[in-house]
Structure 1
């Protein structure tokens, strides 16, 4: 619904190797609902997006570097997938800290496809119910999450989906959760 996210700021955290449609469709959904969405990456400039993880797609302009922003600057976070994108992000301490700060503040976070890999690295999935692309479900379980095979799963402020085939349901749930705003903070993490 147009306007339900008026005044909200949403960060989309991504880097090279991100699946293009997993940036464009969620961004369009939150902006259509009235939010301002910034693409945040490891540095400014552009990132190389992909189609189906193997074909280079558009270069996408980065709005902010992760070192220049904080979770306090935003109301919600989107973590798109693609295999290389979250694998690179989870190896960057600033990106991981950015993600962790959203969850610790009870701010809504949406992750699709391989995007939950960054949540694992941030140590925020223990005791949570999520879905993802099948390839990383063992990683989620090993980090203490309950994993289900559904098109979209919402565990309080954490929204997850499996693949680009689920984007319509994912985007609708993102807008709904982002409109609700902060949720009570759950104890998550401390997986070992």
Structure 2
């Protein structure tokens, strides 16, 4: 029995090269409604679906479209698997790339500054619920389970799976289509 935690493919939305912190809020909204268009998964991602896993997805379009690109139809789409929110702060007079803003905001989030966004503690609790759902589905079906999710939440779910006695067969990659595989000890 395996649980595969895969990060979605590259979203079609890229937006402006540099944005203000005020513009970053709109950038995040656009990113969240973006799908992956024609992004092609690597052979390593395709190989993970050879055993025809039960496909599960976050509610965000980039995750759903990634599953569809792999030829998988999600058996379950649930918000419990969506990415942890970024807290957005106004920093006047500064223009950064969205990537750099995301790094700054994620570091603030990891330090406990979540503003109106979901806190790290709340995200960990949600990841615990998600891990239990995945384990129950794997045990009931006796089939591999593939979650098409996101970078941070997948890492939090992975920690929970390990605390539940699942062994990490391969570490999740950090890029698009990166996947970690977990099995029962």
TM over 0.5: no
Q: Which has the higher contact order (CA 8 A, sep 6+)?
A: 2
Answer 1 or 2: which has greater helix percent: 2
Q: Which has the higher strand share?
A: 1
Larger-Rg structure: 2
Name the TM-score class by shorter chain.
Answer: 0.3 to 0.5
> Structure 1-normalised TM-score?
0.35
